[in-house]
Amino acid sequence: MTSKEIIEYMESLRNEEQRVNLMRFFKTQRPSDYGFGDQFLGIKNPQTHEVVKFSKDLPVEEVPTLLTSKWHEVRLCGFLILVDRFERLAKKRLEHDGKAVLGRDNIIKMYLEHAEFANNWDLVDLSVQKIIGSWLLLPTTLGSADGKADYNFDYKIELLDSLADSPCLWKQRMSIVCTSMPTRHGDPSWCLRYAEKHLTHPHDLMHKAVGWMLREVGEKVGYDLVRDFIMRHINDIPRTTLRYAIEKLGTDERQYWLNLPRK
């Protein structure tokens, strides 16, 4: 399939009733809505995943045509194709393989070049963990002065800082949501860094994302880290962030944190 054929096929799946529901759900109708102006075909995610399965031979050079589509679901398809390609190149046996490293790095560059088109929370959340999040754990040539593959953590921090400091809400969300992958592998430092960086963010979508990632730290690494983070920031942590972070704790402890006096 070519990118043109993929778009034509997905357009043929258009469902008007579902389209209206999705546009309402993803806040697209008012100028103040975070998804204002986005356009949907009304395709459910399982249908989009089926398209991805049949797109394994699509030349990677054609993916940007999908990423820049006016249709939300087509853009999602493009990002999921990148996820699929990245995961195939990130298998354990290919971790240090030279061609695989370069292939992963090219996907990272393509993803970042089109990050602004991941312009809603689902597009970010369904792609960034498995692309940038996985890349944080892998060797890369990006940021290397001699072109040799290494883990280049300073460069990765610099890259995530640039996303976190961007004026774009979706790039900011990328910088925190991608940290779930290192957390799942026992490294909570990425999450704690960007949770602190975004703690006073004004948008509710970021409050939810930060709380969600802190909850991941609790579940995958240990809740003492979360308790310490909350205690240190109790005067600044948004209520929504706090609720998400402590959601899996017992009732009594949740009430303790929610009722803890603030200055």
What are the 10-residue block averages of pLDDT along the chain, 263 residues in total?
96 96 93 94 96 94 98 98 98 97 98 97 98 98 93 97 98 98 98 97 97 98 98 97 98 96 87
Task: Determine contact, residues 208/172, Cβ cutoff 8 Å.
Answer: no
* Cα gap 187→262, rounded to integer Å: 30
Burial category of 252 from C-beta neighbours within 10 Å (exposed 0-12, middle 13-18, buried 19 and up): exposed
Q: Which residues contact 249 (CB under 8 A, 6 or more apart)?
A: 218, 223, 257
Rounded Cα–Cα distance for residues 132 and 123 (Å): 13
What pLDDT is recorded for position 70? 97
| Whole-prediction pTM | 0.95
Tokens at 18, concatenated: 């579902």
CA distance linking residue 229 with residue 215, whole number of Å: 11
Task: Name 37's Cβ contacts closer than 8 Å, sequence gap at least 6.
Answer: 28
Distance of alpha carbon 234 from its chain centroid, rounded? 26
pLDDT at position 1: 83
Q: What is the pLDDT of residue 210?
A: 98
Eight-state DSSP code of residue 116: G
Rounded alpha-carbon distances, angstroms, from residue 83 to 111, 155, 173, 193: 10, 22, 17, 25
Q: What 3-state class would DSSP assign to 151?
A: coil
- Measure the CA–CA gap between 226 and 245, rounded to whole angstroms: 8
Q: In this predicted structure, what is the pLDDT of residue 213? A: 98
**Radius of gyration for the alpha carbons in the chain, expressed in angstroms and rounded:** 19
